[in-house]
Chains A and B, each alone.
Chain A
Amino acid sequence: MHKRAPAWLGKWLVSGPPLLYLVVFFAVPSLIMVLASFRTPGEFGGLAPLVDESGAVDLTLDSYTRLLSEPLYAEIFVKSFWYALVTTVVCLVLAYPLATLIAKSERRHRDLLLLLVILPFWSNFLIRVYAWMIILGPNAALARAVNGVLALFGHEPVPLLFSAFAVLVCLVYVHLPFMVLPLYANLEKHDQSLLDAAQDLGASAWQRFWRITFPLSLPGVYAGSALVFIPAFGIFAIPDILGGPDDSLIGNVIKQQFLETRDWPFGSVLSLVLTVLALALAGLAAWIGQRGVGRLASGDA
């Protein structure tokens, strides 16, 4: 008689390769960083030998003490948090109507509209960031128009480029599709009969949105927010290219530690804190969200 392969074998065959990939490229590097964060920086970068000449094991908490004793780094974490948060909120506000529009448009138009949303991915990320240098540059039409208007009110001209404004505009631009796509995927599944029922039961257009559409779209809102917030929190290329000296974010500092200052242990500490913070924030948001949905649901809201 033919013997069936055990169920566990199938499960491992399916989940094994991705699991292996994650272990090799995420868990192992993370572990290396954890270990590196307790080491001493090498004289010419990298790490000092684990066992020094005298035979003592060289493990230290120096990098952690440094993070806690120099308020500069906490400030940069806070600043990065705000940049990421503003980016997420602006993306959400812009993406929600757009995703709704696509989800409600005729089926044959949807593919085209979605294609337009992901069209920017067809060109290189850095090229798109550099393009903003031209758009926001002092001689471009935009800067001239803005400063022309400011001049009418007797205001000094302001540079658009190399500013927090330039960084935020580009952060929003780069991350917008990551908000639109999960929102669209969610809104597209909404059941029109629920909205009909709500209207039948006396709900105005605004109430239908706020009580039915929005709460049901929260999974899409969370997915999009996570996809925008987490990369925006650690980004370094955009502030590097478009930001001024005050717009260095935590990503820039980490990059600096590894490539310029060559303090790998401290860079590892910053990087670990960034990861832990991002995870904690995502968890917190999900928890608040759950309670929010619960409140709307039981009808207390």
Chain B
Amino acid sequence: MALLEIQDVTRRFGDFTAVDKVSLSIRAGEFFTLLGPSGCGKTTLLRMIAGFDVPDGGAILLDGEDLAQRPPEGRPVRTVFQSYALFPHMTVQGNIAFPLKMARTPAADIPAKVEEALADVRLTGFGKRFPHELSGGQRQRVAIARALVTHPTVLLLDEPLAALDAKLREEMQIELINLQKEVGITFIYVTHDQTEALALSHRIAVMNKGRVEQIDEPDRLYGLPRTRFVAEFIGTCNLLTGPVTGSADGVVTVDVPDLGPVRVSAQGAQATRPEGAVAVRPEKVRLHAPGSAPARDNHFTGAVTGFLYQGDVTVYMVRSERGHTLEALLANSGSGLAKFFEVGDAVELSWPADAGHFIDG
């Protein structure tokens, strides 16, 4: 059975629905991420799990027990706040000892537990410092140590790395993965950064406007987005929409107005509606000099309208003959060649049917 069951949870502010019938079931030991754009209700959902906010409908069950009657201080759930919320008048030790004291841990056991928690976040020796004597990353780690020291059942993290610079964020991501493996505590992680979500999580729930759009493992979310929103939100995507004109032998054809018919493997998906979409990642689109493209399921001609050189790869914007702009991503060779095409070059685009992904509706 799942550790944390969120059943049809709804939260309204006036006539605005911030969280709309969200159901999730999160397993013990899982690194679970809530991913979505700003304002989609992630923090609201997290606050309801912590007990700071009360659902207008639905239930939150932990280990089968309905949490509705439990105040925040009575839940075996800890939060790492985005602002860290370290107590400024206490040393690092005092901060980490705080939840132990609240749990009436015998005073003799506290120093050892504090030391252990400090070691877990690689801050041994920093116990006597005050929060204002630490860097952003160190404060973040103290906040995590403080939340983990009592071994909660669930740890909630609300955009914990948002305030750190890119380099430090990457380091902390790796540390978080290792830490979660080490302590085995269920993490529920909130972020609006899809790369972060893909890198960290066992499973991700993509949220949009208070609803959950898709819950899946990172690779499935990236490879098999079920809705247009997910396809566009996770990474970049060429989303080709139009009427479905055929469906045979496991291949669906979508007639994209300013491009042409696009063929895509259905991969189990059914075309149940007149409209459909094909999602093709830029790295799956091949670019060729005119006349040299191999025969593929999808083949179009166009011209390069622009490119973004990104070091290891270059993203090309290509306008098809009938006016649809597609993105194609080419890995740059190690020999220093950074550009294969110039703006204005005529090119051919192609990709096999199974490189794309069909979205019904």
* Chain A residues near B (Cβ < 8 Å): 191, 193-194, 196-204, 207, 211-212, 215-216, 293, 296-299
- Would you mind naming 13 contact pairs between A and B with Cβ atoms under 8 Å apart? A191-B83, A194-B88, A199-B73, A200-B72, A201-B73, A201-B99, A201-B147, A296-B89, A297-B130, A298-B94, A299-B94, A299-B97, A299-B98
Q: Are A191 and B85 in contact (CB under 8 A)?
A: yes
Q: Are A193 and B73 in contact (CB under 8 A)?
A: no
Please provide the chain B residues from 64 to 121 with a CB less than 8 Å away from any CB of chain A in the complex: 71-74, 77-79, 81, 83, 85-91, 93-94, 97-99, 101-103, 110
CB of B229 within 8 Å of the partner chain: no
Q: Are B146 and A201 in contact (CB under 8 A)?
A: yes
The answer to whether A198 and B98 touch (CB under 8 A), given A193-B83, A203-B73, is yes
The answer to whether A199 and B87 touch (CB under 8 A), given A298-B93, A299-B101, is no
CB of B52 within 8 Å of the partner chain: yes
Q: Are B90 and A201 in contact (CB under 8 A)?
A: no
Q: Are B89 and A193 in contact (CB under 8 A)?
A: no
CB of B201 within 8 Å of the partner chain: no
* Chain B residues near A (Cβ < 8 Å): 50, 52, 71-74, 77-79, 81, 83, 85-91, 93-94, 97-99, 101-103, 110, 128, 130, 146-147, 150
Q: Residues of B contacting A197 with CB < 8 Å? A: 79, 81, 85-87
Q: Are B78 and A200 in contact (CB under 8 A)?
A: yes
The answer to whether A194 and B87 touch (CB under 8 A), given A201-B98, A298-B94, A299-B97, is yes
Q: How far is the CA of A196 from the CA of B143 in the complex (A)?
A: 13
Which of the listed residues A201, A215, A296 has the most CB atoms from chain B within 10 Å of its own CB? Answer: A201
Which residue of A191, A194, A203 contacts B102 across the interface (Cβ within 8 Å)?
Answer: A203
Q: Residues of B contacting A199 with CB < 8 Å? A: 52, 71-73
Q: Are A297 and B85 in contact (CB under 8 A)?
A: no
Which residue of B74, B94, B110 contacts A297 across the interface (Cβ within 8 Å)?
Answer: B94
Which of the listed residues A202, A204, A298 has the most CB atoms from chain B within 10 Å of its own CB? Answer: A202
Q: Are B87 and A212 in contact (CB under 8 A)?
A: yes
Shortest beta-carbon distance, B33 to chain A, in Å? 20
Q: Are B81 and A297 in contact (CB under 8 A)?
A: no
Q: Are A200 and B87 in contact (CB under 8 A)?
A: no
The answer to whether A202 and B99 touch (CB under 8 A), given A196-B81, A197-B79, A298-B94, is yes
Q: How far is the CA of A216 from the CA of B97 in the complex (A)?
A: 18
Q: Are A298 and B91 in contact (CB under 8 A)?
A: yes
Q: Are A293 and B89 in contact (CB under 8 A)?
A: yes
Q: Residues of B contacting A211 with CB < 8 Å? A: 98
Shortest beta-carbon distance, B96 to chain A, in Å? 9
Q: Are A193 and B91 in contact (CB under 8 A)?
A: no
Q: Residues of A contacting B101 with CB < 8 Å? A: 299
Q: Residues of A contacting B93 with CB < 8 Å? A: 298-299
Q: Residues of B contacting A191 with CB < 8 Å? A: 83, 85
Shortest beta-carbon distance, A38 to chain B, in Å? 47
Q: Are A202 and B52 in contact (CB under 8 A)?
A: no
Which of the listed residues A193, A200, A203, A204 has the most CB atoms from chain B within 10 Å of its own CB? Answer: A200
Q: Which residue of A lies closest to B97 (CB)?
A: A299
Q: Residues of B contacting A202 with CB < 8 Å? A: 73-74, 99, 102-103, 150
The answer to whether A207 and B102 touch (CB under 8 A), given A193-B83, A200-B78, is yes
Shortest beta-carbon distance, A193 to chain B, in Å? 4
Ranked 4 nearest A-B pairs via Cβ: A202-B102, A197-B85, A299-B94, A201-B99
Q: Residues of A contacting B78 with CB < 8 Å? A: 200-201
Q: How far is the CA of A293 from the CA of B93 in the complex (A)?
A: 15
Shortest beta-carbon distance, A288 to chain B, in Å? 16
Q: Residues of A contacting B89 with CB < 8 Å? A: 215-216, 293, 296-297
Q: How far is the CA of A293 from the CA of B78 in the complex (A)?
A: 26
Which residue of B79, B83, B103, B130 contacts A200 across the interface (Cβ within 8 Å)?
Answer: B79
